[in-house]
Amino acid sequence: MKCLLSVLIPAFLLPAWPGTGGYAQTLPLRLTGGWIQAVPPSAGASVAFFRIANSADEPFELAGARSSLADRAEPMVTTRDAKGMSGMESVPALKIPAHGELVLQPGGDHLMLMNLRRHPNPGEKVTLTLIINPGHKEMEVTLPVLRQAPKEIENANEHSPEHR
Amino acid sequence: MNTALSTDNPVNPAYKPKGWRLWIVAVTLVVAIVISVLWGARHKAQEGFFGLRLFPAKEAYDFTLIDQNGHPFQLSSLRGNVALFTFGFTHCPNFCPTTLSDLASVYHALSPREQRRVRILFISVDPQRDTPQALGQYVPYFDPNIIGLTGPKTEIDRTAQAYGASYEIGQKPGDAPGVYFVNHSTFTYLVNPQGKVELIYDFDKLQDTAKLKADLERVLNEPGN
């Protein structure tokens, strides 16, 4: 589908498409394997998981997100103590290392979608506007709501995010 | 000291190093045998199970809690069947939905005959918010056959302690009253048809539906089960 689109739509119509170059605010970030955990209608929160690769010499930070799905989207780190007790803590931002990757996955760090305004149905696609620092830049991504992690996380749901 | 040594080996100075060598060889052999025996025993105990096998299986604490329909539920009522259970809370956004989705996926992979002999339990460690009604709105989403359990904190504490699980009230995100996280251990326990804890799964293993299914089928088909 993506190949078809790239043939049908001339490149000049896609100024924000990564790799087209020349766009002042284009971020050297690439999001893959993203999904949102399906939760029961009674749940007040859900979680977004994805990987963001950074091809630049400088690190970036994921400072949160905006979405029509939830009031707040906060970066969380998962903690595990000596007794095997797991918890999570809200942090101001999660680092996307230079020439490295930020990995958000079940049981690990994640983006928590708090105070859900509506119930995300499995199969639905939800748009998130990620807030990237420095510069408070925005990166729009669309993630599917899934009951379980995609089996082939590396190849699943690859996105070419739009940068503003 | 020197006198004693020279009494044992009064003439040949080369004799002493040879004796030491023999001792080293003997000790190394004994250590190797002990290690191989222990390794073999461990391997035998594990016997290809995907979950961490308790060998011998340990008598499961027979808790009595309240299910999502408000009825008392005793673990021993599942005797003759396999119980898979975990601890969590319904406001948990990360571990609990993933764990229950993974366990439901394993359950769905079983044959109808096997499903009749397997029950998944979700024990709340947040009884303050997790009433039977709250559990009733939560657990059936993953599968209608999952049993959500809550109850008096004293019994939940006893149950958690008996299985080596732990929990504590964690961070409060924001100032809203009644909003808090609960830190908790994320193991899943398999109680066999004889009422013994036989296998324990770390959270990371639950995604492997095929291997969990193989463990369950094996336990269901063990002689005496």
| CATH number of A49's domain | 2.60.40.1890
> How many domains, chain A?
1
CB-based contact B93 A46, cutoff 8 Å: yes
Is there a domain that residue A149 lies in?
no
Give the nearest partner residue to A148 out of B93, B101, B134, using CB atoms: B101
**pLDDT of B169 above 50:** yes
Report the chain A residue with the minimal C-alpha distance to residue B133.
A42
Q: What is the DSSP letter of A120?
A: P
Looking at the DSSP bridge assignments, the partners of residue A127 are: A142
Chain B residues whose CB is inside 8 A of the A114 CB are 173
Is there a domain that residue A161 lies in?
no
User: Which of the two residues, B196 and B93, has the higher pLDDT score?
Assistant: B196
Q: What value does the mean pLDDT of chain B take? A: 89
For A122, other C-beta atoms within 10 Å of its C-beta total 14
Reported as a single tens digit per residue, the pLDDT across B181-213 is 899 999 999 999 999 999 999 999 999 999 999
Token pair for A125: 């696609």
Q: How many CA within 13 A on the CB side of residue A111?
A: 30
What is the percent of chain A with per-residue pLDDT over 90, rounded to a whole number? 65
Residue type present at position A98: A
Is there a domain that residue A53 lies in?
yes
Reported as a single tens digit per residue, the pLDDT across B7-31 is 455 555 555 556 778 888 899 999 8
Closest CA to A55 of A100, A88, A109, A90: A100
Distance from CA of B183 to the nearest CA of A (A): 4
Domain spans of chain B, in order of start: 2-46, 52-221
CA-to-CA separations, B195 to B36, B86, B208, in angstroms, rounded: 32, 16, 25
Distance from CA of B120 to the nearest CA of A (A): 17
Chain B: residues touching A (Cβ < 8 Å): 90-91, 93-95, 97-98, 101-102, 104-105, 134, 137-139, 141-142, 166-168, 170-171, 173, 181-187, 203-204, 207
Q: What value does the mean pLDDT of chain A take? A: 81
Is there a domain that residue A16 lies in?
no
User: In terms of residues, how long is chain A?
Assistant: 164
Tell me which of A113-117, A148-152, B97-101, B216-220 is least confident: A148-152
Chain B residues whose CB is inside 8 A of the A45 CB are 91, 93
> Number of CB pairs < 8 Å for A and B?
99
**pLDDT of A145 above 60:** yes
CA-to-CA separations, B131 to A149, B75, B90, B145, in angstroms, rounded: 29, 19, 10, 18
DSSP B133-191: HHHHHHGGGT-TT-EEEE--HHHHHHHHHHTT--EEE----SS-TT---EEEE--EEEE
Q: What's the CATH architecture for B52-221? A: 3-Layer(aba) Sandwich (3.40)
Distance of CA B139 to the CA centre of its chain: 21
Is there a domain that residue A10 lies in?
no
Q: What residue numbers bound the domain in which A97 lies?
A: 26-141
Mean predicted confidence (pLDDT) in A94-98: 98
Q: Are B193 and B82 in contact (CB under 8 A)?
A: yes
**pLDDT of A21 above 70:** no
Q: Are A31 and A159 in contact (CB under 8 A)?
A: yes
Mean predicted confidence (pLDDT) in B88-92: 93
A44 class by beta-carbon count within 10 Å (0-12 exposed, 13-18 middle, 19+ buried): middle
Report the chain B residue with the minimal C-alpha distance to residue A150.
B207
CB-based contact A43 B90, cutoff 8 Å: yes
